[in-house]
Structure 1
Amino acid sequence: MFCFSAAAHTVGFSHCGKFANRIYNFSPKNPIDPTLNKLYATQLQGMCPRNVDPRIAVDMDPVTPKKFDNSYFRILKEGKGLFTSDQVLYTDSRSKNTVNTWASDPNAFNAAFIEAITKLGRVGVKTGRNGNIRVDCGRFN
């Protein structure tokens, strides 16, 4: 199943430390993730130099960061996905067609997101011992 949380990356930002490995320490052979657009990687390095203040953040969608639209899927095709987990949606044959569809058809993207978020809304909120409100979204408390 396609990860619909990536669709929400059309708005919002991320702190540099959450993707720094892609632009500095991806692997011993490739310091920069080879799936990342080289010009975009250079721009990210300018915005997020080594040892940057951890409060510095970058828009997840550099084209329309404050608009909920299908732009994030268009930039994935250009190698400008901020996170490895998002960029792989375009490089993986199992999800590439979906990225192409959503990149070219805003109505298809909107319809799929509405359907997914409606289903998510029916899951119900876990509370008490069954739930956990995270202080940091990237870690369990």
Structure 2
Amino acid sequence: MFASHGLSQADMVALSAAHTVGFSHCNKFSNRIYNFSPGNPVDPSLNKAYATQLQQMCPKDVDPDIAINMDPNTPRTFDNVYFKNLELGQGLFTSDQVLFTDARSQPTVKTWAKDNAAFQQAFITAITKLGRVGVKTGNNGNIRSDCSVLN
């Protein structure tokens, strides 16, 4: 889908790093820390200490308005720490952590974890390409009030 718009795999990895800033409500990732699979209630790709920290911040019956930082280390700085977190098993969402566990994207994650300037340049390139994809309006588009749900 994205390749048809000129976005490469590396572009998508770079754009995922937007998760280095911002927050998420607990219910958007609670399955990873409580109900991942029948044999593994906690996602085994999660750092154990990080999983425990998430469980403490987001107990099972937590208020749905409670939110935590997506980047546990530098949540207000747009930087390559997002990729360092992935190397440590500290990707908040499955879609983040898979960038490190998948052999196709892991080399890119490792490169950008070591080189903030290279990451920053890659992000600029990717976001510029994304800006050229085109905006859908009216009946041709869908503005989501909740990112995870199609209206």
Partner of 2:82: 72
TM-score normalised to structure 2 length: 0.91
- CA-CA distance at 1:22 after TM superposition: 0.6
Aligned length: 141
CA contact (8 A) 2:15 2:126 kept: no
Partner SS, residue 16 of structure 2: helix
CA drift at 1:87 = 0.5
The structure 1 residue matched to 2:54, chosen from 44, 59, 64, is 44
Give the 5 Å matches for 1:43-122. Answer: 43-122=53-132
Structure-1 separation of matches of 2:15 and 2:117: 18
Following superposition, the deviation at residue 137 of structure 1 comes to 1.1
Q: Secondary structure at the match of 1:14?
A: strand
Taking the aligned partners of 2:82 and 2:17, their CA distance within structure 1 comes to 7
Gaps of 5+ in 2: 1-8
Q: Deviations over 1:7-57 (max 9, x none)?
A: 100101111001001100011111100010000000000000001111111
Match of 1:19 among 29, 35, 42: 29
TM-score (norm 1): 0.97
Deviation, 1:110, is 0.4
1:138 equivalent in alignment to 2:137: no
Greater Cα shift, 123-132 or 45-54: 123-132
**Does the 8 Å CA contact 2:100/2:109 hold for their aligned counterparts?**
yes
Report how far residue 135 of structure 1 moved: 1.4
- Percent of aligned positions with the same letter in both sequences? 70
Structure 1, gaps ≥5 residues long:
none
